[in-house]
Every structure is written in C-alpha cells, then in structure tokens.
Amino acid sequence: MRLNKKLLLVTSLCGGMFFAQSFAAKPKDDDKPTNLKILPKNISEKELHNIMRNFSMSLGVRCNFCHVAQQVPGQERPQMDFASDAKSEKIIARKMMQMTAAINENYIGKMIGGDHTLESITCVTCHMGKTTPIVSTDSLTKQ
C-alpha cells in the first residue's frame, strides 16, 4: 500500500519524461542518497536524477536552486551537498511533491472521466518553467 503510493508518486513526478542525457559527475557507491523523505529510499540513481532534472526543467532552475552549493578554493565547480536540508526551497519542494501527489491521488485519480482523459498533473503543469507560477487574470485579457 505504502509502496504503491510511492511508486505512483514517482511515476507521476516523472510525468512520462525521460532524459537520455546522463550526468557529468560519475556516480560513486558512496553517492547513495542518505536523506530521502518522500521518494523511495531504494530508488535507482537514474530514476532519482531523472526526477531531479524534471524538477529543474519544470521550474527553469539549476540544481543549486534547491541544493546547497559551496565554492571550494582552487576548484572550478562548486561542491554540492545534495543531502543537506539547509535551503528553504528544498523544504518547499518536498511539500510540493506531497501536494502534487495528493492532487493526483485524491482528486484527479478519483474523477469519473466519462469521455475525458484525465492525466495526472506534475510540477510543470503549474510552474511552466518558472519558480513562481503566478499569472494574473489581467494579463490574460490583454492581446
């Protein structure tokens, strides 16, 4: 039951999007996630990265929008601390994951569709490449 819910969440977060491009940093064994609270702890590296790429693209940001990045003297690339919960954006993102899953599970998934095809929503449904998906109705009436 719990596992099913998590699988549902992962599939709905992926939104059927897959990315052929893999990550520049070579995965090591000690790169295993240590601080997953929503995603299944045994998620594959590939699946986790696909979801993270999906988050980034949906909001139009890079990994460091949600994850702590520290410049190390003499090193070109910043040191990423993906497990850290220090950034409020990551905390909000967790809530957003729960919210998105709840909308899909409690509403979209329970609607009697009739002739309609009801697809689950994902981050990009609202965010559309922006961190703040707020559109005023005024802007919609202007040509």
Judged by the rule CB under 6 A, the positions of this chain that interact with ligand HEC are 13, 33-39, 48-49, 52-53, 55-56, 59, 61, 63, 65-67, 82-83, 89-90, 92-94, 96-97, 100, 121, 123, 125-127, 131-134
Answer yes or no: are the C-beta atoms of 91 and 99 closer than 8 Å. no
CA angle 102, 66, 62 (to 5 degrees): 110
Q: Which two tokens stand for residue 86?
A: 């220090």
Considering the complex, state which of residue 44 and residue 117 has its C-beta at the smaller distance from ligand HEC: 44
Spatial CA neighbour of 77 closest among 62, 94, 96: 62
Q: Single out the residue of 71, 64, 54, 68 nearest to residue 127, CA to CA.
A: 54
